[in-house]
Amino acid sequence: MGTNRKSLITEDLDEPRAIALYPQKGLLYWTDWGSPPKIEKAYMDGSNRKIIIKTDLGFPNGLSVDFKAKRLYWVDARLDKIETSDLMGQNRVTLINNVPHPFGLTVYGPHIYWTDWQSEKIERADKNSGKDRVVIQRHLEGLMDIVVVAKDRQSGTNWCSTGNGGCSHLCLARPRGRSCACPDKTTQEPCYTYPVTNSGMENQIPGYNAADADECTDEDEKDGICEKPKNVPQAEKTLGGKETAMIALSVGIVVIVALLVFVVWRVKKRRRQAFLTESDEFVRLTFSNPNYQKSSTETINLERSSSAESQEWKIFRYSKKDQQVSILKPSRETKSRGSERAALVQQMDSGAVSPSLPSRERQSKLFKDRTSNKDKDVISKVPYKPVKT
């Protein structure tokens, strides 16, 4: 009736063209002319999607399922050939080459039938070998698809054959089961995504078990309906788990050590910066300067002029009569002496060795002792004469 419409697959579709169903197994197949061209399959509820053929394709079209042989057939409108494979896309065979421009295809009995745009014909050939090619109809302009409708075309049942599978709205067949779905647009009646009634199919189909409805049997795998997961030995599973745990543990240890090193480095850096800042602002080293008797924190002008004129030498004169000190203006001789003194001072400042002072022995020779006997004898021999004033 066309009601309760639902979109099953909406993503990664470029130019979908032909579609074919295998209702008894709950499988959906379609071709895509996009880039790259491919043939895909999924369950009829849109789940378990998979690309089964993606190489050596041009414009795949006219897809059809042979239910008895459990094989796929299609034409390629670009490469001008007809091909077949099993339901998983394996065991691929090219049946007929050099077809002018095939477009639609169907399978019935021992033959395949296809349409051709260029030759405007409907032809038939053996479905197993591609031989015994026969023209069925001619001069049919604008031929598109072709479909065979017959009572024996398909037989059997699926999980949606009776009572809509117990679903309220849509029953979508799957291999060994079904899915209840709701339409994209809501309806007045409440919709449920699980069976709400007993369809009776559980009693009609032998060996039904709801728990393993989605299980892939050996027969289904042989027919290309599904693939069983590859069994991994238990030892490999355990080893893989241990290796994963060891890798995770090693990575965790490396991360923790790196964080600790970073934290220690940051703490030391902050302490160093704080110490340097504290030293610059508060610490002052003070020592005695024997030359100038000034502390190192005071400003000392070490620059001295090398010229004698920059040295200002003052001469002081003391008068006993007036009992006062006066400053005399330097004469030329005094200025020359001042130049000598300035040169001497500069020499001493530049690190020249000053003449050593005379030793005590020499000093004793320069100054005689007043109390020596020799002097006393000389003094005693001088006659004393009083002086009249």
Tell me the three state secondary structure of residue 117.
coil
CA dist 95 and 104 (Å) reads 15
Per-residue pLDDT band for 61 (boundaries 50, 70, 90) equals: very high
Number of CB atoms found within 10 A of residue 105's CB: 22
Query: CA torsion, points 104, 109, 111, 117, in degrees to nearest 10?
Result: -20
User: Is a pLDDT exceeding 80 seen at residue 311?
Assistant: no
Rg of the Cα atoms in the chain: 59
pTM over 0.85: no
CA dist 225 and 26 (Å) reads 9
For residue 29, what are its two tokens?
């197949």
**Closest by alpha carbon to 85, among 127, 23, 37?**
127
Cα separations in angstroms, 201 against 71, 209, 370: 27, 11, 153
Per-residue pLDDT band for 143 (boundaries 50, 70, 90) equals: confident
**Closest by alpha carbon to 171, among 204, 193, 200, 188?**
193
User: Is a pLDDT exceeding 50 seen at residue 39?
Assistant: yes
CA dist 137 and 146 (Å) reads 12
Cα separations in angstroms, 17 against 34, 38, 39, 62, 162: 9, 11, 10, 8, 31
Percentage of the chain beyond pLDDT 70 is: 61
User: Is a pLDDT exceeding 90 seen at residue 335?
Assistant: no
Largest CA distance in the chain: 185
Residues sharing a CB contact under 8 Å with residue 307, sequence separation 6 or more, in sequence order:
342
- The residue ranking higher by pLDDT, 4 or 224, is 4
- Determine the straight-line distance between the first and last CA of the chain, rounded to whole angstroms: 171
The ranges assigned to domains in the chain are: 16-153, 163-222
Which pLDDT value is given to residue 109?
93
- Helix (H) / strand (E) containing 178: strand 177-181
For residue 219, what are its two tokens?
């027969």
As its CATH architecture, domain 16-153 has 6 Propeller (2.120)
37-46, 92-101, 164-173, 233-242, range with the lowest pLDDT:
233-242
For residue 149, what are its two tokens?
């409708």
E strand intervals along 71-223: 71-76, 81-86, 93-96, 102-108, 111-116, 121-126, 134-137, 170-174, 177-181
Amino acid in the structure at residue 268:
K
User: Is a pLDDT exceeding 90 seen at residue 13?
Assistant: yes
Q: How long, in residues, is the chain? A: 389
Per-residue pLDDT band for 309 (boundaries 50, 70, 90) equals: very low
User: Is a pLDDT exceeding 80 seen at residue 142?
Assistant: yes
Which tens digit of pLDDT belongs to each residue from 260-301? Answer: 999 998 888 888 877 666 555 544 545 555 555 554 444 445
User: Is a pLDDT exceeding 70 seen at residue 358?
Assistant: no
**Closest by alpha carbon to 79, among 60, 107, 54, 104?**
60
Which pLDDT value is given to residue 322?
73
Which tens digit of pLDDT belongs to each residue from 181-210? Answer: 999 988 888 999 889 887 655 545 444 444
Q: What is the Cα 212 distance to its own chain's centre?
A: 42
Helices marked H in the chain:
201-204, 218-222, 234-282, 332-349, 360-366, 373-381
CA dist 235 and 16 (Å) reads 45
Percentage of the chain beyond pLDDT 90 is: 42
| pLDDT average, residue stretch 240-265 | 86
User: Is a pLDDT exceeding 90 seen at residue 42?
Assistant: yes
Mean pLDDT of the chain: 77
Cβ atoms 67, 86 nearer than 8 A: no
Let me know the angle formed at the C-alpha of 229 by 228 and 231, rounded to the nearest 5 degrees. Answer: 115
